[in-house]
């Protein structure tokens, strides 16, 4: 049973435009959410996180939005750059130190 | 500083053999996690250590899988009587309490 879902396996965006990656979850106990970026043959790299007490967290070009009532989070990248091309995973957990539940990933391609 | 390292980076073995996969976490990280990632999927949780003890091993698929962390730093994931279905990328991650998990590059295991 997939508790974290990324329904778009791929996304293509023009350089300079906004990339929006979406993620849905089913477990209302989740209180900590993260986005990871993964290049081929490398492990996932932590990008940005948000706790359930917030609805937005921003770090440079990356902003994560959390809608608890809809059990939905999104990652906005603006402006998108070719180096952002990678697979993006969202992950969720509840309580400190617990395992993360990952989505299946969205492959982002930023076209120069 | 040094990130999470995993050895070997690739391992090819025959069905029925025993393998050991090693993880060196980031210095000072008390929490260590093992995940398994199959093609087209997100990482799936296997086991979590807090210090030397396994705090949660609910993700281990069966008793052929075992992991240790005897001194609270380096961890070894052990797989007995390997099967072709064990072929995957095995990822290790570490974290401080309440922080994001930082992943290593993974070990690509192929069971022939």
Q: Which residue of A has its CA nearest to B49?
A: A97
User: Does A97 touch chain B if contact means CB atoms closer than 8 Å?
Assistant: yes
pLDDT at A96 (0 to 100): 62
What percent of chain A lies above the pLDDT cut of 90? 89
Question: Mean of the pLDDT values across residues B14-21?
Answer: 98
pLDDT at A94 (0 to 100): 85
pLDDT at A97 over 70: no
pLDDT at A1 (0 to 100): 73
User: Does A99 touch chain B if contact means CB atoms closer than 8 Å?
Assistant: yes
Is residue B107 included in any domain, yes or no?
no
* Domains held by chain B: number: 1
pLDDT at B108 (0 to 100): 97
Q: How many Å separate Cα B43 from the centre of its chain?
A: 11
CATH number at residue B38: 2.60.40.10
Q: Is A84 helix (H, G, I), strand (E, B) or coil?
A: helix
User: Does B83 touch chain A if contact means CB atoms closer than 8 Å?
Assistant: no
Show the domain range for A87: 4-111
Q: Are A3 and A100 in contact (CB under 8 A)?
A: no
CATH number at residue A90: 2.60.40.10
Is residue B84 included in any domain, yes or no?
yes
What are the pLDDT digits (tens) for B96-111?
A: 877 889 999 999 999 9
What are the pLDDT digits (tens) for B42-68?
A: 999 999 999 999 989 999 999 999 999
pLDDT at B1 over 60: no
Is residue B110 included in any domain, yes or no?
no
Question: Mean of the pLDDT values across residues A8-33?
Answer: 96
In degrees, to the nearest 5, what angle opens at C-alpha B100 toward C-alphas B20 and A111? Answer: 95
Per-residue pLDDT band for B83 (boundaries 50, 70, 90) equals very high
* Domains held by chain A: number: 1
Integer angstrom CA distances of residue B45 from A20, A61, A77, A97, B38:
26, 30, 28, 13, 12
Show the domain range for B24: 5-101
Question: Mean of the pLDDT values across residues B24-50?
Answer: 94
Q: Which residue of A has its CA nearest to B45?
A: A99
Tell me which chain A residues have a C-beta less than 8 angstroms from the C-beta of B50.
97
């Amino acid at each position: 049973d997939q508790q974290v879902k990324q329904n778009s396996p791929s996304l293509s965006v023009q350089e300079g435009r906004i990339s929006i990656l979406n993620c849905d979850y089913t477990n209302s106990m989740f209180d900590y959410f993260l986005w990871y970026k993964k290049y081929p043959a490398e492990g996932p790299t932590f990008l940005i996180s948000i706790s359930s007490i917030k609805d937005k967290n921003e770090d440079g070009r990356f902003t994560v939005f959390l809608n608890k009532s809809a059990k939905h989070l999104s990652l906005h990248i603006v402006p998108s750059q070719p180096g952002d091309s990678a697979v993006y995973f969202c992950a969720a957990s509840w309580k400190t130190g617990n395992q993360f539940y990952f989505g299946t990933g969205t492959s982002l391609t930023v076209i120069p | 500083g040094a990130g999470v390292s995993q050895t070997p980076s690739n391992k090819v073995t025959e069905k029925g053999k025993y393998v050991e996969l090693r993880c060196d976490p980031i210095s000072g990280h008390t929490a260590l996690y093992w995940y398994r990632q199959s093609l087209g999927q997100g990482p799936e949780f296997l086991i979590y250590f807090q210090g030397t003890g396994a705090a949660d091993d609910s993700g281990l698929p069966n008793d052929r899988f075992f992991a240790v962390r005897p001194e609270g730093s380096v961890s070894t994931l052990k797989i007995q009587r390997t099967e072709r279905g064990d072929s995957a990328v095995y990822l290790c991650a570490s974290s401080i309490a309440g922080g994001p998990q930082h992943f290593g590059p993974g070990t690509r295991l192929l069971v022939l």
